[in-house]
Chain A
Amino acid sequence: MAAPDTSTADLPDEEIERVPGEGDMWFFVLFESLVFTAYFCVYLYFRTQDERAFLEAQSALNLPLGIVDTIVLLTSSWAIARCVQEARAGRYPAARRLALATIGLGAAFFALKLVEWVNLIRGGHTFTSSDFMQHFFFLTGMHAIHLLIGFVALGILVHQLSDPQRRSQETIETCSTYWHTVDLYWVLIFAVLYIVR
């Protein structure tokens, strides 16, 4: 790693050290992760104070649906990582198809989330029904807002890929970094809401 910058020109593409996307987006990723961590800490602490009630309310969740949902979002994350690879190789039509696939998978995740919410609310589990559900709807709701903002990022990405004049690898990677962040938050939320006992 001590090698000066000039020597990296000889290395194969895979070995060059570079920040994926703009560094500023990484600031957002780190900052917002800490904010989410704070929410999780509050939830875990209050959960231990009344474990019985939390466990009972938690049992209303549909774990298989949550797992399917998680896999859908992980796949969308994979698709956008592939999209970045294709864009880097200059295969823009393929990259664009993968970006559209990401949007589709993101929309599928959101649709499953809506189904889950509606089922819970029909079953009498609402934002105000219990402490667990309060945390559940808050965390999944905050995540959904980040997901919806992610569609803006994906829209910018598709827009860039569609027009040869606009294509900027940095912007493409920045948008993809944001989308992965949405995935990361879900990975953590899923573990603390569905699995933790």
Chain B
Amino acid sequence: MSIVSNLRANLRTDPKRELWFTWYSTVAFYSLYSVVFFVITRTQPPGKPWLDPEQTVEWFADRHGGLLFGFGLIFVLGGWSATAIALIAYSIRRMSVSRAFAYSYLVLYLIAAVPGFLLICIAMTAGALRPDRNPEMQRWLYDLGFLSFSGTMGVFLVGSLIWMAAILLDKNRVFPRWFGYLNLCNALTEVVIAPSWIFQRGVLAWDGVIAWWIDVAVFGMYTGVFIYLLRDVIIRDDLGTGPLPERPPGRPRRLHPLAKVLR
């Protein structure tokens, strides 16, 4: 089956089509998000925290159209982020743990949308809109944008821990336990980003080697892994209750080359 007809079947006639819709939307949303931040607006990797007011004016001038168009895309499509959260909340509900875990995750991550991406969109659009604004105020918008985006910590910290606890307590084997522990690694990135509220330069500033590069590497792996695992959950899901079946046999998983070497 080609990818397109596969997709069509998944979204139209598959009994799990709602789940497939949220999964494909998750992939689409994260791709769009990366393109907007890394390519169109060039706000990731982030600007330097130590720019003086005049330099921030130049920074805005440099990205004028990209900021307005890119964040326009987020203004229109940012709500798709709810699909990933809804799917994860569903995966938690499918576990043997209380629904309180699923609802906590849902609410925590949905609250996160406002400081997590709406504020940077508003601040950067306001900065790009009036290049002739007082430079001090341009820098204030610049700070608001980057700090709100990087420094929105608590919801992701507690949200990851809730997901971790649910996975480790689950008896339905929805996720492998190692992914539970990976949630802890992701939660810790929110601790590592905290010093970006304190330092204007160095490895722990919002563009720092530790606070940005290493954190983004961990977060990127985490995101890639959970998108893959969510697909696995949908394939295995019997839409019932109790333990999730294993993947149907006959499709043996290929061994990773590294695992072969070690064997």
Contacts and interface: CB of A to CB of B under 8 A. Distances in A.
Chains A and B directly touch (beta carbon < 8 Å): yes
Interface in B182-230: 182, 184-185, 188, 191-192, 195, 198-199, 202-204, 209-210, 214, 217-218
B188 A145 contact: yes
A23 B259 CA distance: 14
A169 B204 CA distance: 41
A78 interface: no
B210 A24 contact: no
Contact of B178 (A28, A35, A142): A28
B209 A24 contact: no
27 contacts: A24-B177, A24-B180, A25-B177, A25-B181, A27-B181, A28-B178, A28-B185, A31-B181, A31-B185, A35-B188, A35-B218, A38-B214, A42-B203, A42-B209, A46-B203, A127-B195, A127-B198, A128-B198, A134-B195, A134-B202, A134-B203, A138-B210, A142-B188, A142-B191, A142-B192, A145-B188, A145-B191
Nearest to A42: B209
Per DSSP, are chain A's interface residues mostly helix, strand or loop, or mixed?
Answer: helix
Contacts of A31: 181-182, 185
A32 interface: yes
Contacts of A149: 184
Nearest to A145: B191
Given A142-B191, A145-B188, A42 B210 contact: yes
A39 B210 contact: yes
Interface string A38-66: 11001000100000000000000000000
Bin the interface of chain B by size.
Answer: 20 to 34
Contacts of A116: none
Interface of A: 22-25, 27-28, 31-32, 35, 38-39, 42, 46, 127-128, 131, 134-135, 138, 142, 145, 149
A31 B179 CA distance: 11
A131 B180 CA distance: 34
Nearest to B177: A24
Contacts of B199: 128, 134
Nearest to A31: B185
B188 A138 contact: no
A28 B198 CA distance: 29
B42 to A, nearest CB: 24
Contacts of B217: 38
Nearest to B167: A24
A131 B202 contact: yes
Nearest to B189: A35
